[in-house]
Amino acid sequence: MPFSLLVLRASKILLPLLIGIYFFLAAIDNIEDPSANWIYLVHVLSMDTVPGDSSLGWRALHSPHACRLIFGGLVAWELVTALLCMAGTVQLLRAWSGNSQEFVRAKSWAVLGLTCGLIEWLFFFLILAGEWFQIWRSPLSTALDVAARMFAVTALSLLYLTQPEGSPESRPPERNHSS
């Protein structure tokens, strides 16, 4: 197998691994020190930092049970995403020296994990917090920048991972343009 293909595959293995580590650390942080993000989540859900003249205040959640359920769901989603990305990394490692079809088949778990990561950023942060709870109108809106950045990193990783392999041997020969 050409060195260039080994390097390409190594890069496609590292991205889901690193994103999986990110989600794992985010989940562990939320489990071990929930107060940091818990306070933020309660502010988002209660919409208490959105200007008072908003006619969308009826969307606010003030139930501690609902807040705990959403927080728990977010942490569970982060753990599942991390595990899927890491399982995908293991599958990709196993197929690293295999043929192209084996490597393509091994991408499934990593694709699923990265897709779960995209869903988290898109649903929990951009749609739910950003639009439904109007965080973009709040001083807490800086979290949307982080969400957008992580969405972009995860999306680019997913796009890169799913690109077909292109070893030099699989390309058509170049034409000789000398006259």
Q: Which residue has the higher pLDDT, 51 or 112?
A: 112
Domain ranges of the chain: 3-164
Please choose, from the candidates 107, 100, 106, the residue with its C-alpha nearest in 3D space to the C-alpha of residue 1: 100
Cβ neighbours of 96 (radius 10 Å): 17
d(CA 127, CA 177): 53
- pLDDT at residue number 146: 86
For the segment 128-157, what is each residue's pLDDT rounded down to a tens digit? Answer: 998 999 998 988 888 888 888 999 999 999
Give 177's pLDDT tier (boundaries 50, 70, 90): low
From CA 121, how far away is CA 104, in angstroms rounded? 26
* pTM of structure: 0.86
Alpha carbon distance 78, 48 (integer Å)? 26
pLDDT score of 171 more than 60: no
Count of C-beta atoms within a 10 Å radius of residue 8: 17
What confidence category does residue 176 fall into, taking pLDDT thresholds of 50, 70 and 90?
A: low
Residue 143's pLDDT is what?
80
